[in-house]
Amino acid sequence: MIAFAKTKAALRAEGSVVRDTITSARREAASAAIADRVIAVAETARPQVIAVYMPIWSEVDTGRVIDWAFDNNIGVVLPAVVDSANFEFRRYRASDVLVAGRFGTRAPAPDAGTANPDLVVMPMIAFDRAGTRLGYGGGFYDRGVARLRAEGIDPLLVGVAFAAQEVPAIPAEAHDVRMGLIVTENETLNFRVKKKG
């Protein structure tokens, strides 16, 4: 567990260092375990369209989740940054060639078309047991999810990270979207409010 730091900037710095120090072999094994847990979630949730990211740097590898979605005829979309404040979810097919995007990301070409996901797998630099996710600080996912909700779409939000990225607490702001689930190689944390009756 990362030592407590009060600011998001400090937590980001610590979380990045912790994630970067995980060996490639351990990262590969942990990513496979995380993917299996995400697939189990998706098998229960039965999404028509799943949003997944292509990993950069030392992020959790989501390739197995994407392959599972293709094998089960579930639509896949990837986030594509369109300007300094927003991204869109572009359709991704197995044969598509990805193009370089901002911040080192890869995404389908602009003519790939878009679709709204009902399950979103999100990378995290750090997380806590209140369901708070710490990203890179651009707010892209927060705004993207807010846009979906404004359109009446409330996707299941699944944050993925290595267990070592857990922190005691992340200072949450009003615009920060809370995760429905957080998945590590060791466990699946459920923050969804159970409906009565």
Ordered by where they begin, the domains of the chain are: 8-190 (3.40.50.10420)
Burial class (CB in 10 A: 0-12, 13-18, 19+), 62: buried
| CA–CA dist 141, 49 (Å, integer) | 17
pLDDT score, position 4: 47
pLDDT score, position 6: 72
pTM confidence score = 0.93
- Exposure of 55 in the CB half-sphere (CA atoms within 13 A): 19
Residues of the chain with pLDDT under 70: 1-5, 194-197
pLDDT score, position 174: 80
pLDDT score, position 43: 98
pLDDT score, position 97: 92
Q: Which of 55, 50, 8, 59 is nearest to 30 (CA)?
A: 59
What's the N-to-C CA distance of the chain in angstroms? 37
pLDDT score, position 86: 84
